Amino acid sequence: MKKRLAIILVLCLSLTLLITGCSSKKADENKAPEQKQTADTSFQDIKDQGYFTLGLDDAFPPMGFREEGTNEIVGFDIDLAKEAAKRMGVEVKFQPVVWDTVIEELNNGNIDVIWNGLTITPDRQKQIAFTKPYISDRQIIVVQKGSALTNKAGLAGKKVGIQAASSAIEAVEKDKATSDAIGELVQFDNNNDALLDLKSGRVDAVVVDEVVGRYYLAKHAGDYQVLEENFGSEDFGVGVRQSDKTFLDELQKALDAMKADGTSAEISKKWFGEDIMK
């Protein structure tokens, strides 16, 4: 009798464990994908480190560039980043990179953000995550002062300078009629080199972000002029790794607060003379 009772108890215990195990497995299967994944610690990692690293083209005034005389990295995006970092309780370090490798640098972990007049495009959105747009821009056509070129049609057969891996290339290629007619699209490491070649006559025009082009024109009014036609408008955002959701959330909170209290507007007025924040 005792032996039979013991067997019954063992069977009951085994059945209980089986039911519990199945229930646990089913409950785990019913969890949302994000619950199964390892928690995102990206912002905590930044806090523990004490800073985030910002990748930029350091020859992209007024967004981010080397100040003449001091060689210090300064600019509109630089001031925004410093203020956002302060509000997040960390510092920001600046890492110049070759622009056509900047997304690779980000996804490989060599930098933590791309904050340098980065245009939000569908192709880039497949590779990285963005903050909300903070300013809008246009791709303008800059020519020498007094140039015979007056419109996009005049670019037929001409050499046009453009920054490698920039959104300006996509903007030009979207205008197929103009793109097909251009004699040669000459790619440069940075816009500064492109505009210097324009000044010397090695290229006939340069397609560039308006914020950059207007800045150069203000400093070299006698050298350049802007055509009325352009290659369309676009939005700038800050790029982060797609996996860094908590870091992106905290960064967006800081940017939203700067917008709400007028800090970003003051930074904009410092560099552009007006509030151009989106």
Confidence class for position 37, pLDDT limits 50, 70, 90 = low
Q: Find all residues with CB under 8 Å of 216, minimum gap 6, and list them.
A: 61, 142, 191, 195, 224
Interatomic CA distance for residues 88 and 18, integer angstroms: 49
Closest among 82, 101, 124, 142 to 234, alpha carbons compared: 124
The top-level CATH class assigned to 138-234 is alpha beta
Coil, helix or strand for 140? strand
**Residue 225: in which H helix or E strand, if any?**
strand 224-236
Preceding omega of 122 cis (within 30 degrees of 0): no
Closest among 130, 50, 133, 57 to 93, alpha carbons compared: 50
> Among the residues of 68-209, which ranges form H helices?
76-88, 102-107, 122-125, 167-174, 176-181, 191-200
**Listed range (122-126, 180-184, 221-225, 231-235) with the worst mean pLDDT:** 221-225
Mean pLDDT, all residues of the chain: 89
pLDDT tens digits, residue range 44-74? Answer: 999 999 999 999 999 899 999 999 999 999 9
Query: Which percentage of the chain shows pLDDT scores above 70?
Result: 87
Q: Where are the domains of the chain?
A: 42-134+237-272, 138-234
DSSP 119: B
What is the per-residue pLDDT for 216?
85
> 42-134+237-272: what fold?
D-Maltodextrin-Binding Protein; domain 2 (3.40.190)
The pLDDT of 122-129, averaged and rounded, is 97
Find the distance separating the first CA and the last CA of the chain, reported in whole Å: 84
Same topology, domains 42-134+237-272 and 138-234? Answer is: yes
